[in-house]
Amino acid sequence: MSAERVTLETSEDAVLGGRLRLRQPLRGHRVGHDAILLAAFTDAQAGQHAVDFGAGVGGAGLALARRIAGLQATLVEIDPVLAALAGQNAALNGLAERVNAVAADVADAPGLTAAGLAAESVDCVLMNPPFNDPRRQNVSPDPRRRLAHVADPDLLGRWVESAARLLKPEGRLTLIWRAEGLPGVLEVLAPVFGAVSVLPVYPRPGAAAIRVLVRAVKGESAGHQNHAGLVLNGSDGRPTVAAENILRGGEALGPARF
């Protein structure tokens, strides 16, 4: 693995309109809209502790830490090479005092505890789990891209269970998922989470949603609320003002609080 760290080709890219710079592999999964939208929809406050599951090179967790001064964040990534890049990115952006990265399996409770993430110790968890079913979609030959995009059908349940273990009572979980899979997300959340807030993401006016952003509160019993969706591009193909404000301007998405 140390040899891979030396030979891995990376680029340094600006996101959030230059507010964040990320070193990331030239090949494989690269930070895109999903990570920034996830961070924008995550409800957190200064002084709280947020955990980014499946952080990759840290795009979502670092975007959240950049938006919320005083927030502590832990980036959890199973690939040690990407976890190392996430830690480097925290330092690159002057966030190393508030953000640390750990190489661990999200579903490994003892491993998370060893990394300093004890049960009921964090205020919010954000996650962009792999959600492509290898039985229905082509699988990338690149191992890192495959790990980031493809998962078995039970993975979401394991990640949600792990989030529920780490979160304090009334802690908040935020995730992004493919839009057609929302019923399955709600089913997985139901045993532990309530007060579910759903915001669809549309590629253009009149098109079907491609993603859903979901927030939920641990231990709440209330049902779910749907919010007006975000349209990424106008009829002319150009980014909408709302999308630009979020993806480049770093603004929060949706209601500030539940």
Q: How does pLDDT run across 78-97, given as a tens digit for each residue? A: 999 999 999 999 999 999 99
Asked if the structure places residue 23 within a domain, the reply is no
Asked if the structure places residue 102 within a domain, the reply is yes
More reliable by pLDDT, 28 or 100? 100
Span 185-209, average pLDDT: 96
The domain that contains 211 carries what CATH number? 3.40.50.150
Span 92-103, average pLDDT: 97
Please report, as a single letter, which amino acid is at residue 231. V
C-alpha 23/C-alpha 257 separation (Å) is 32
- pLDDT, residue 7, reads 60
C-alpha 103/C-alpha 10 separation (Å) is 19
Asked if the structure places residue 169 within a domain, the reply is yes
- Helical segments of 10-154, H only: 33-41, 59-67, 80-92, 109-114, 143-149
214-248 as b/e: b if 16+ CB within 10 A:
bbbbbebeeebeeeebbbbeeeeeeebeebebbbb
- pLDDT, residue 255, reads 56
Asked if the structure places residue 107 within a domain, the reply is yes
Residue 12 CA neighbour count, 13 Å, CB half: 8
- Domains identified in the chain, total number: 1
C-alpha 7/C-alpha 206 separation (Å) is 45
- pLDDT, residue 8, reads 78
More reliable by pLDDT, 122 or 222? 122
pLDDT tens-digit readout, 117-131: 999 999 999 999 996
Three-state DSSP class for residue 34: helix
Asked if the structure places residue 201 within a domain, the reply is yes
pLDDT above 70 (res 55)? yes
Q: Which domain holds residue 148?
A: 32-248
Residue 212 binned pLDDT confidence (cut-offs 50, 70, 90): very high
How many other C-beta atoms lie within 10 A of the C-beta of residue 255?
Answer: 13
